[in-house]
Structure 1
Amino acid sequence: MVSNSSQSTVALWGPGSCQEPDFLDQYEVLRAIGHGEFGQVYLARHRLTGADVAVKVLKTETQDISDLSEPLMLRSLEHPNIVQLFQVMRTRKNLYMVMEYTGGGQLLEHIPPGGMQQEEACRIFRQIVCALGHCHDKGIVHRDLKLENIMLDARGHAKLIDFGFSTRFTAGQKLNDLWGTLAYIAPEIVLKQEYEGPPADIWSLGVILHCMLTGSYPFRGDTPQELLMRITLARFQVPSSVPVKARRLIRQILVLNPKKRPTVKQILQHPWLRQGEPCAPHPSSQALPTRPDPAILTMVFDLGFDPYQTWVSLAKRKFNVVMATYLILKHQQGQGVGSTFQGQPVPQWLRPCQRPENLSNVPVLPERSTSQPALRTFPLPSEYLLPEDAQQPGHRDIRGGSLPAIPLRCPPAGAPTLRSCSQSDSGFPRPKPSRVLVWWSRAHSSSSSLDTAPRQGPGHTNGWKQVRSRIAACVRALCCCCVPCVSNKMAQMSQRSDVPHP
């Protein structure tokens, strides 16, 4: 690697780097699978879902690691041919990047000595170009494109990885940092000239395509100095076994003048790449939807997480443990793999909530008869309002039918009155479902005994007593904080009604 820029000092270290309890509570480390420029990479298993993930561990000598660009870049990149980021965990010593595990190995390992078949090379190269185009559309240049940074998954799809050298750019912006691998580096970078990021990435694409079709690099030298000299001259030979259209594309890319190199869109329109399957669409190029998949949200709830907190984590792109669980489940769904619980026991704060196996003995909520008055609905607490970035324009604070139900919360005994509760932004502890069912069963038993009494004619005081009793029962069931005051008032009203009218 050639480097002229300052970066945080990052050390590579051994298996002990993944032994922190905060990390081991969520993942089981299996083995080391490689290392990048700034950290060691391990194969781990997500304890809740049983999914295999790749974890890059970064350790810095200083407390500030804001100079490391890879976590920041991957947060804003979502494409089928770019490795997916699941979680970013910061501890006192390390920074853990939990990512998708491809499992198919490096593209370099799949290139035979004479080069790949034309159809296979065309398919994979098209996916690489599409991934790079998504990066450029997001204002990001990779600056270290090479065969070792392109992985294949189990289905043979290309995945672009290792954004440690990447940076953001604007149209026409000149860069002067010297990053890259010698065999793939652009001539303007070798000459230490100011350069634009996208044309430098395009040059690396030409080197990759040449290697895929021939099995060898276009520029070779016995020493690094000889290699760099050949790059600055841009002299190379393409074997005649390479198809004519592919040879023309390589020669169009590997030109000295950066302004004469084609863009990503122009490469995708080349006749050699237009044969076969089209470029993969960008279903995830936009921000994650503010309305998560209800099926996956149900699975997240079954694992013990709050659906609302999952929603907020996705909308604000926190990449925390909740968002990681949702993304891993979604990734498993896309791969056609179901989640399985494996590994060591999960800590208490990550254990799924317990559910009764036999629901036959659970009391059922009573149904309101047509003669009973309907109750007015109360406004939701302010803490359950959707975040502004998760609200749709023109539909503020409206929950759709496909969204998860929001759990009701009741204040404990001795809490402020209902009026003061509605003016406060703080939430109350969530009551246990068994208590709510007991309250309803008691209210129902008290009100059902009134139905056995003979009905009186209209205007009789006994009829009004039944209405008041049912209202009091409903209020006691819904608002536990109002039980004492409502009971006293209902008792006073009942005593007054017993007094005969003059």
Structure 2
Amino acid sequence: MTTNSSLRSNTFKKDSTVLSLISDHYHSMFLNTNDELELAHFGLRVGSTLGTGTYAKVKSAYSEQLSHKVAIKIINRRKAPADFQRHFLPRELSILQQINHSHIIQVYDIFSYGNKLCIVMELAKTDLLDYVKLIGRLDEDKARKMFTQLISSVDYLHQINIVHRDLKCENVLLDKSFDVKLSDFGFARVIQTNELSHTYCGSAAYASCEILQGIPYNAIPADIWSCGVILYIMVYGSMPFDDSNIRKLVRCQLEKKIHFSRYKPLSMECKQLISSLLEPDIKIRATIVHIKNNDWIKGHIMSTINEDSSKTISLSAVARTTATTQKLLSPIVNNLQESTIKTMKKTIPDNY
């Protein structure tokens, strides 16, 4: 009797689980169909899903009004955190309506229906991270072209007092011609001259040492640091620092332990530019003006690219002769989102 009762109980549990999965599946199908019907009223024929998050998803679509494909970011306000809706989302929408630059993703329309907010934007081919993972490190000419375009977009933002604060390879999109299209302004904000930020956002792997130390920071030099990490990834196909341990990461940043592999030849001019971008002292960290006038950016390469000239460089007073083994990009990528600045023990109130 006990055995039969136990069997019936287990069977009921299994049936309940199956029914729950079926219910979730059809509920998801209904929501997707509902989105498609609603978006059709705006002249958008929805295609495949390009990405999903906790409270947002990005889908491809064909715009009847524009007569070409677009991307639609659909934000579910019912699932989105209150802080996001109160502070970050309104600021992002305001900034998106202000900016217009050839190397920033173009926004065509913003509208809402029900509890959904939709941002219709330019459709990219891929992002820089996937591109580097696919073809490996870029040659210097290709990297120079993409990095110059990235700096052009960041310079434009800084000129109108906007800081991005989440510059990383995933947010550097590439169009069908592999031209840069900077995206994702969820953490961007308008700042005043010399204003300090207290919001610690983004991925630790791209964050400057002043951010990781948990002190108020100038967001413009912090953006420059992130650009330095992106350039390093472009030309090396790996991360300049291991971000698996925040304390160790900060120490490496402050001691200027940038690993330039002898097995991946690189011009001295490119190394010097990377070193100036990943300078822990913001007073001497490269500025946009310095970058635009840099020899490597201008294509003035005097050094010969060979293995002998591509040893580890450390700008600290006493260079270390033994470099730690650099982790390759692919294993680190899986941890980028997890090892964010949220892992820091020290926090101070967010000024948004």
Asked whether the two chains share a fold, i.e. TM above 0.5, the reply is yes
Distance 1:255 1:98, change over 3 A: same
Q: Would the alpha carbon gap of residues 22 and 222 (structure 1) be closer, same or farther in structure 2, given more than 3 Å must change?
A: closer
5 Å-filtered alignment, 1:222-371, equals 222-240=244-262, 241-275=265-299
Indicate how the Cα distance of structure 1 residues 76 and 58 shifts in structure 2: closer, same or farther if over 3 A, else same: same
Write the distance in 2 (CA, Å) between the matches of 1:164 and 1:18. 27
Greater shift, 40-49 or 25-34, is seen at 40-49
Q: For the structure 1 residues 18 and 270, does the alpha-carbon distance in structure 2 shift closer, same or farther, using more than 3 Å as the test? A: farther
Measure the CA separation in 2 of the matches of 1:37 and 1:122.
35
Query: Partners in 2 of 1:221 and 1:91 — Cα distance?
Result: 40
Q: After the TM superposition, which residues 71-82 of structure 1 pair with which residues of structure 2 at under 5 Å, given as runs?
A: 71-82=93-104
Which of 164, 174, 183 matches 1:142?
164
**Residues 425-446 of structure 1: per-residue CA shift (max 9 Å, x gap):** xxxxxxxxxxxxxxxxxxxxxx
Aligned position for 2:203: 181
CA distance, structure 2, for counterparts of residue 83 and residue 265 of structure 1? 24
C-alpha distance after superposition, 1:453-481 (max 9, x if no partner): xxxxxxxxxxxxxxxxxxxxxxxxxxxxx
How far did residue 237 of structure 1 move?
1.6
C-alpha separation in 1, matches of 2:110 and 2:33: 14
Aligned to 1:380: none
Identity fraction in percent = 27
Instruction: Check if 1:41 corresponds to 2:58.
Output: yes
Aligned residue identity for 1:24 = A
Q: Name the structure where strand makes up a greater proportion of residues.
A: 2
| Counterparts of 2:284 and 2:55, CA distance in 1 | 34
Structure 1 residues 345-374: Cα deviation after superposition (integer angstroms, max 9, x where no partner): xxxxxxxxxxxxxxxxxxxxxxxxxxxxxx
Residues 1:51 and 2:65 aligned together: no
Q: Distance in 1 between matches of 2:158 and 2:268?
A: 28
Equivalent residue for 2:149? 127
SS at match of 1:58: strand
* CA contact 2:55–2:77 (8 Å) conserved in 1: no
Contact 1:18 1:24 in 2 (8 A): no
C-alpha contact (below 8 Å) 2:175/2:181 kept by paired residues: yes
Q: How far apart in 2 are the matches of 1:100 and 1:251?
A: 34
Partner SS for 2:109: strand
Which residue matches 1:297?
A: none
Q: In 2 relative to 1, CA 49–167 (structure 1 residues): closer, same or farther, beyond 3 Å?
A: closer
RMSD of equivalent CA atoms:
2.4
Is the CA contact (8 Å cut-off) linking 2:209 and 2:280 kept in structure 1? yes
Q: CA shift at 1:224, angstroms?
A: 4.7
For residue 24 of structure 1, what is the aligned residue in structure 2? Answer: 40
Once the two structures are TM-superposed, the CA of residue 221 in structure 1 deviates from its matched residue by: 4.8
Please give the alpha-carbon distance, in whole angstroms, between the structure 2 residues aligned to 1:58 and 1:245: 44
Q: Which residue of 2 aligns with 1:107?
A: 128
Question: Residue 212 and residue 18 in structure 1: after superposition, are their counterparts in 2 closer, same or farther (change >3 A)?
Answer: farther
Q: In the aligned structure 1, how far is the partner of 2:271 from the partner of 2:53?
A: 32
Provide structure 1 residue ranges, at least 5 long, that are not aligned to the other structure.
1-12, 277-502
> How far off its partner does 1:263 sit?
1.5
C-alpha deviation, 1:242, in angstroms: 1.2
Residue 330 of structure 2 aligns with which residue?
none
Q: Cα deviation per residue 1:209-260 (whole Å; 9 max; x = unaligned)? A: 1111111111015445543443344422223411111011011111111121
| Native 8 Å contact 1:116 1:214 kept in 2 | yes
Q: Residue by residue, what CA displacement relative to the aligned partner does 1:39-59 show, whole Å, maximum 9, x if unpaired?
A: 211111113443111100112
**How far apart, in 2, do the equivalents of 1:134 and 1:208 lie?**
18
Are residue 216 (structure 1) and residue 232 (structure 2) matched? no
Q: Partner of 2:118 in structure 1?
A: 96
1:65–1:158 CA distance, 2 compared to 1 (3 A):
same
Determine the structure 2 residue equivalent to 1:60: 77
> CA offsets, 1:309-341, max 9 Å, x none?
xxxxxxxxxxxxxxxxxxxxxxxxxxxxxxxxx
Deviates more, 1:208-217 or 1:109-118: 109-118
Spell out the pairing of 1:351-500 with structure 2 (5 A cutoff): none
CA distance in 2 between counterparts of 1:38 and 1:242 reads 42
- Give, in whole Å, the separation in 2 of the partners of 1:231 and 1:72: 34
**Residue 190 of structure 1 contacts residue 232 of structure 1 at CA under 8 Å; is this kept in 2?**
no
Instruction: Return the TM-score normalized by structure 2.
Output: 0.69
Distance 1:250 1:71, change over 3 A: same
Q: Distance in 2 between matches of 1:149 and 1:183?
A: 14
* Aligned-partner Cα distance in 2 for 1:14–1:196: 43
The structural deviation recorded for 1:14 is: 5.9
CA contact (8 A) 1:39 1:56 kept: yes
State how far apart, in whole Å, the 1-side matches of 2:104 and 2:63 are.
Answer: 20
Q: Which amino acid aligns with 2:178?
A: G
Per-residue deviation, residues 122-177 of structure 1 (Å, max 9, x unmatched): 00000000000111111111111111111111111011011111111111001111
Paired with 1:39 and 1:229, the residues of 2 have a C-alpha distance of: 36
The CA distance in 2 between the partners of 1:93 and 1:17, in whole Å, is 14
> SS of the counterpart of 1:199?
helix
Gaps of 5+ in 2: 1-26, 301-352
2:188 aligns with one of 139, 162, 166: 166
Q: For residues 4-44 of structure 1, what are the alpha-carbon distances to aligned partners after superposition, in whole Å with 9 as ceiling and x for unaligned?
A: xxxxxxxxx96725724442212111011014686211111
Kindly state the Cα deviation for residue 102 of structure 1 after the two structures are TM-superposed: 1.5
- Residues 221 and 266 of structure 1: CA distance in aligned 2, closer, same or farther (over 3 Å): closer
CA contact 2:212–2:246 (8 Å) conserved in 1: no
